[in-house]
């Protein structure tokens, strides 16, 4: 039975993700009906005008629901949450659905406390409660780390081992965790061997990052001799695959440590991409990564030596939880922002990396001097084997 047509003159606005639009646009009827596409950014500048818009947004919800008003501290809490969502100190998130939910939960918290206004403390409790509802997997993994079923060292010094950092996304919740990265180096022609790639557990971006390491090592140490080594690197106890290049600097530190025979401080974790020239590049999820390692250290006991090394270009993205900020201010936890590999090496080992002189040599006792001598020994061993096989 076909219904009778009725006159209708309306405009339909469809809101969705770019992926949703891409899928639907394969339908000709959809393209005919929705001819105009507008992209909206997920963030906006944190300026006075947009802060006023945030305040108006909060006030509008309070008036609409006829509920508690936010005082200045409460409004500041919502604005800080907006910057945390955006992951940038100079931005505010336009994910107003998430912001609205925190506003509602903050109001409920204020009612529970019988407060006449919604204050900063209520906003923070709302955000913490929201995270608590999503963080079951995070708590399970943190528990396994605490019980040593997942081995993460936060004390001591180890050669060829470093704490890298990665993030896990589960629905609307993202959290960071450390992962033990190890490197073994020996005589050979294999170059840098990515065990994850060999076992088909490495994504394309991660594989590219590992290949970049060979370029750095060749540029530093193979200008006058072959790079006669095999270096095997892997993420220990990580079985779901690896993607992204944010751990490439940590992988390079582990290789250099193994070559130099110099131990790395296990109280530190590292995140940051590296290019072939050794410059540290920005990464995503810096807040979650710092907080993930902080939680591990806090469970084990903060010593004042523990901390995270991040790219200097990521400092603008720091929107950390209060516990971390307080621990850093009190000297119980550290955050180091670096620009290049050499800076990180000195923090991790306490020994200068060393700069090459005009004759192509590094200062005695420096890390790069130790690496250079080890590679010279590898080449001597390879030449000896070659001569022996040739019957010379």
Integer Cα distance of 345 and 350 in angstroms: 8
For the chain, the structural domain boundaries read 43-134, 148-380
Q: Tell me the CA distances in angstroms from 293 to 154, 297, 310, one per residue in order.
A: 9, 6, 12
Among 384, 375, 362, CA closest to 225: 375
Per-residue pLDDT band at 118 (split at 50, 70, 90): very high
Percent of the chain at pLDDT above 70? Answer: 97
Contact partners, residue 359, CB within 8 Å, separation at least 6: none
pLDDT for 195 equals: 64
Summarize pLDDT for 328-338 with one digit per residue, the tens.
999 999 999 99
Q: Are 268 and 307 in contact (CB under 8 A)?
A: yes
Summarize pLDDT for 367-390 with one digit per residue, the tens.
999 999 998 888 888 777 777 776
Residue 354 has pLDDT above 80, yes or no: yes
Alpha carbon 96 to its chain's center:
24
Q: Give 217: exposed, middle or buried? Use CB within 10 Å, 0-12, 13-18, 19+.
A: buried
φ, ψ dihedrals at 203, nearest 5°: -75, 170
Integer Cα distance of 367 and 122 in angstroms: 51
Summarize pLDDT for 173-218 with one digit per residue, the tens.
999 999 999 999 998 887 787 767 766 677 787 788 788 888 999 9
Integer Cα distance of 136 and 99 in angstroms: 22
Reported pTM: 0.89
Domain 43-134 falls in which CATH fold? Helicase, Ruva Protein; domain 3 (1.10.8)
Side-chain-side CA neighbours of 300 within 13 Å: the count stands at 25
Q: How many CB atoms lie within 10 A of CB 388?
A: 9
Active-site annotation, residues: 246, 289
pLDDT for 189 equals: 81
Among 351, 331, 333, 329, CA closest to 342: 351
Given the structure tokens 């440590």, which residue do they identify? 257
Summarize pLDDT for 256-290 with one digit per residue, the tens.
999 999 999 999 999 999 999 999 999 999 999 99
Return the CATH class of domain 148-380.
alpha beta
Helix 120-134 with 96-112: angle, nearest 10 deg: 110
Summarize pLDDT for 122-136 with one digit per residue, the tens.
999 999 999 999 999
Give Rg (Cα) of the chain: 26
Q: Do domains 43-134 and 148-380 have the same CATH topology?
A: no
The whole-number average pLDDT for the span 314-322 is 96
Integer Cα distance of 295 and 314 in angstroms: 20
């Amino acid at each position: 039975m076909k219904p009778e047509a009725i006159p209708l003159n309306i405009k339909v606005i469809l809101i969705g993700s770019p992926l949703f639009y891409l899928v639907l646009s394969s339908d000709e009827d959809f393209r005919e009906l929705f001819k105009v596409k507008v992209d909206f950014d997920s963030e906006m500048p944190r300026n006075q005008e947009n802060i006023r818009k945030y305040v108006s947004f909060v006030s509008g919800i309070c008036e609409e629901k006829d509920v508690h008003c936010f005082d200045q501290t409460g409004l500041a809490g919502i604005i800080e949450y907006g910057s945390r969502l955006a992951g940038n100190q100079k931005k505010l998130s336009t994910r107003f659905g998430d912001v609205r939910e925190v506003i509602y939960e903050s109001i409920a918290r204020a009612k529970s406390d019988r407060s006449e206004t919604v204050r900063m403390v209520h906003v923070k409790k709302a955000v913490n409660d929201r995270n608590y509802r999503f963080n079951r997997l995070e708590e399970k993994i943190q528990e396994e780390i605490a019980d040593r079923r997942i081995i993460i060292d936060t004390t001591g010094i180890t050669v060829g081992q470093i704490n890298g950092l990665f993030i896990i996304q589960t629905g609307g919740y993202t959290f960071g965790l450390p992962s033990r990265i190890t490197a073994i180096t020996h005589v050979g022609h294999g170059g840098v061997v990515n065990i994850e790639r060999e076992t088909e557990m490495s994504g394309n971006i991660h594989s590219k990052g590992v290949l970049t390491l060979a370029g750095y090592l060749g540029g530093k140490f193979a200008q006058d001799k072959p790079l006669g080594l095999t270096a095997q690197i892997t993420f220990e106890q990580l079985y779901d695959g690896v993607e992204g290049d944010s751990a490439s600097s940590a992988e390079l530190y582990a290789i250099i440590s193994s070559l130099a025979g110099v131990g790395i401080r296990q109280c530190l974790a590292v995140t940051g991409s590296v290019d072939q020239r050794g410059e540290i590049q920005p990464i995503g999820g810096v807040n979650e990564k710092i907080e993930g390692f902080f939680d591990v250290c806090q469970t084990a006991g903060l010593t004042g030596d523990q901390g995270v090394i991040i790219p200097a270009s990521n400092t603008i993205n720091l929107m950390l939880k209060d516990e971390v900020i307080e621990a850093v201010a009190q000297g119980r936890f550290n955050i180091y922002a670096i620009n290049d590999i050499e800076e990180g090496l000195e923090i991790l080992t306490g020994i200068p990396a060393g700069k090459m002189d005009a004759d192509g040599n590094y200062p005695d006792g420096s890390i790069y001097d130790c690496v250079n001598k080890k590679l010279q020994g590898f080449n001597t061993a390879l030449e000896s084997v070659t001569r022996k096989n040739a019957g010379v």
